Each structure stands twice: as structure tokens, then as C-alpha cells.
Amino acid sequence: MDYHSDRFEDHSLLVFKNDKVIALLPANYNGQTLYSHQGLTYGGLIIQRTLKFQDILEAFKMVLQFLNRLNIGTLVIKQMPSIYTSVASDELLYTMFLLQAQLYRRDMLSVVNLQVPIQFSKDRIAGCKRAIKHHLEIKETNEFEAFWNDILIPNLQEKHKTEPVHTLQEIKMLKARFPNQIRQFNVYYNGDIVAGTTIFDCKHVAHSQYISANASKNTLGSLDALHQYLISKVFKDKQYFDFGISNENNGKQLNKGLLYWKEGFGANAVAQDFYKVETQNYKLLDDVWV
């Protein structure tokens, strides 16, 4: 996380039992609120697989007590989507219920289960056929400049008046630190880049962090062919392919066209919840056990 440490006031926490770390909470501080780190896509307590629920509950209670003593009134938690965990891990979700936490946002990931038969829609199949007709070429590359400068940044500026979350320098640095997890796939037409995607390759999931193409994407079928290739060949042995969210306005609205495109690859919904917990509510965990 240190590559963007200048943007956040870090306040990450460690929980110990008998002088041994049993839980971590990557977090940053802003005003009277502690955030499950805003520089990370997913958050919450990081725990050992063998940790029992009693210890998890006690660890979270101690975190809230600690923050309350520091006069930090609210903890904001972003839930880890279930597809990213190695085992069933909804302890934190149940704990949010016990703490009467406020669900203030819910995003919807579009996820393809790669271990069941996948049926592409007629539109996506037609797009792939157009790509074959135009002799598009798909390549994995270690270079990010062409995609960032020629495709991604111009598109985000034109459509949303914004910039990528990661600068070109940051994504190159992440690639250097995690060469096998940060992967770039580009599509070329007559030798020129026309589309691409940046994949975060996780243990069970391939996640499209950035997807973008130039104005010819519908005519050429560039994004259809690219993702057909990734889903059917490159990442076919993963459990899931995650297209990410199509949400806007803190989860309350959806980009209809974008969601339609993702669902054309067989994607279904997986929710990611965001909670606000009043730290003084740690007392609600006193009478859980019977």
C-alpha cells in the first residue's frame, strides 16, 4: 500500500493473542472516522484460516474498544466479496448484524463462474465473429504506455472527465513488484492498439481492473474478442472472472449498457457491502454467547 501513502493517513491495526498476531486491519484515518483502507478495493479484518469465531468476534470487539478510547466514533468497513476468499468467511458479515451496523452502500460485481458451462449471448458471439473478420490480434505485454496513453486516459477524460485510479507510473511499479499478478492484454488492428484490459490475477479470480477501447470497438468487436479469449483460454482454470462493478452513485444506480455487455459473457451478480459501525456499539457483543 505504500505507493500511495501520501494520499492517506495510515492507521492500520494489529490484534494480538498471547503475543501472536491473529488479525490485521489495513486502515486509514480521516477526521473522527477510521476507514477499512480507502486505497484498497476490498477490506475488513485479515484473519488466519484456523481462527475460530469466538476469537474473531473478540478481535473485532477489541478494535472497536480501542478506537472508541481514541474518540474515533465510526469505523467504515468494505466487505470482502465471497469469491475472493479461499474458504467460507462471512464472520464479519454476521458481526455487522450483531453490531447494528448501517449498510450504506452495496455494489454489484459482474462475475463469470468459469467452472460451469458458459453460454455467450448472440451479441457477444457476433462481436467475436467481427474480430475474426478484421483479423484482430490479441497479445499479452509487459508495457502499459500504449494502453494508458492512447486508449484508457483519453476514454476516461472524454466520457467521465476523470483519470485512472492508478497513474502510469504506479501501475508500472505494481507490475515490477507483482510481475505475475498484474497483467496487460492488448488488441491490435493492422498493428495499432485498439483495445485492452489490465488484469489483476488473484488466486481464484481474474479481475479486470481496467477495460477500454477506442471508438471502433463495436465495428471491430475488439472487446468481445478480447474477453472471449481471456475467459475461454487464458483464465479458464480459475474459479471466477470478475468484470467489476457497473454501479454509480454509491451503488444506487447501474450503467445499463455496461451491465448488459458483461452479462453477455454469462456474468451474474455478486454483492459487495459497505458498512458504518459506531465504535461505542462494541458493548452489543457482550451478550452474544448463551
Percent of the chain beyond pLDDT 70? 100
Average pLDDT over the chain reads 95
The CATH architecture of the domain made up of 116-238 is: 3-Layer(aba) Sandwich (3.40)
For the segment 224-281, what is each residue's pLDDT rounded down to a tens digit? Answer: 999 999 999 999 999 999 999 999 998 999 999 999 999 999 999 999 999 999 999 9
The DSSP annotation for 132-177 comes to: HHTT-EEEEES--HHIIIIIIHHHHHHHHS---SS-HHHHHHHHHH
In this predicted structure, the answer to whether residue 203 has a pLDDT above a threshold of 90 is yes
In this predicted structure, the answer to whether residue 17 has a pLDDT above a threshold of 90 is yes
How many Cα atoms sit within 13 Å of 3 on the Cβ side? Answer: 14
Q: How far apart are CA 106 and CA 110, in angstroms?
A: 13
Comparing C-alpha atoms, which of 156, 217, 165 is closest to residue 187?
A: 217
DSSP 3-state assignment of 60?
Answer: helix
Q: What per-residue confidence (pLDDT) applies to 200?
A: 98
Q: How far apart are CA 87 and CA 69, in angstroms?
A: 33
Q: What per-residue confidence (pLDDT) applies to 5?
A: 83
Q: What per-residue confidence (pLDDT) applies to 182?
A: 98
The beta-strand segments (E) located in the chain are 9-10, 13-17, 20-25, 27-30, 33-36, 46-47, 74-78, 102-113, 137-141, 182-189, 192-201, 205-213, 240-245, 247-248, 253-254, 268-278
In contact, 65 and 45? CB cutoff 8 Å? no
Q: What per-residue confidence (pLDDT) applies to 43?
A: 84
- Strands 253-254 and 247-248, sheet pairing: antiparallel
Q: What per-residue confidence (pLDDT) applies to 75?
A: 98
Where in the chain are all domains bearing CATH 3.40.630.30?
2-106+273-285, 116-238
Q: What per-residue confidence (pLDDT) applies to 98?
A: 98
CATH of span 2-106+273-285: 3.40.630.30
For the segment 88-117, what is each residue's pLDDT rounded down to a tens digit? Answer: 889 999 999 999 999 999 999 999 999 999
User: For the residues 38-65, what does the mean pLDDT come to?
Assistant: 92
The edge-to-edge listing of strands for the beta sheet with 46-47 is 13-17, 20-25, 46-47
Please state the φ and ψ torsions of residue 70, each to the nearest 5 degrees. -85, 5
> Please, which pLDDT band fits residue 33 given cuts at 50, 70 and 90?
very high
- Other beta carbons within 10 Å of 88: 7
Q: What per-residue confidence (pLDDT) applies to 62?
A: 96
In this predicted structure, the answer to whether residue 2 has a pLDDT above a threshold of 90 is no
Q: What per-residue confidence (pLDDT) applies to 84?
A: 93
> Please, which pLDDT band fits residue 119 given cuts at 50, 70 and 90?
very high
Q: How far apart are CA 24 and CA 37, in angstroms?
A: 12
Enumerate helices (H) and strands (E) in the chain, giving the number of each: 9, 16
Please, which residues have CB within 8 angstroms of residue 38's CB and are 6 or more apart in sequence?
8, 28, 30
In this predicted structure, the answer to whether residue 48 has a pLDDT above a threshold of 90 is no
Q: Please state which of the ranges 40-44, 60-64, 97-101, 141-145 shows the lowest mean pLDDT.
A: 40-44
Classify residue 84 by its DSSP letter: G
Q: Please state which of the ranges 2-6, 132-136, 178-182 shows the lowest mean pLDDT.
A: 2-6
In which residue are the cell numbers 490485521 written?
24
Q: What per-residue confidence (pLDDT) applies to 7?
A: 86
Q: How far apart are CA 209 and CA 200, in angstroms?
A: 6
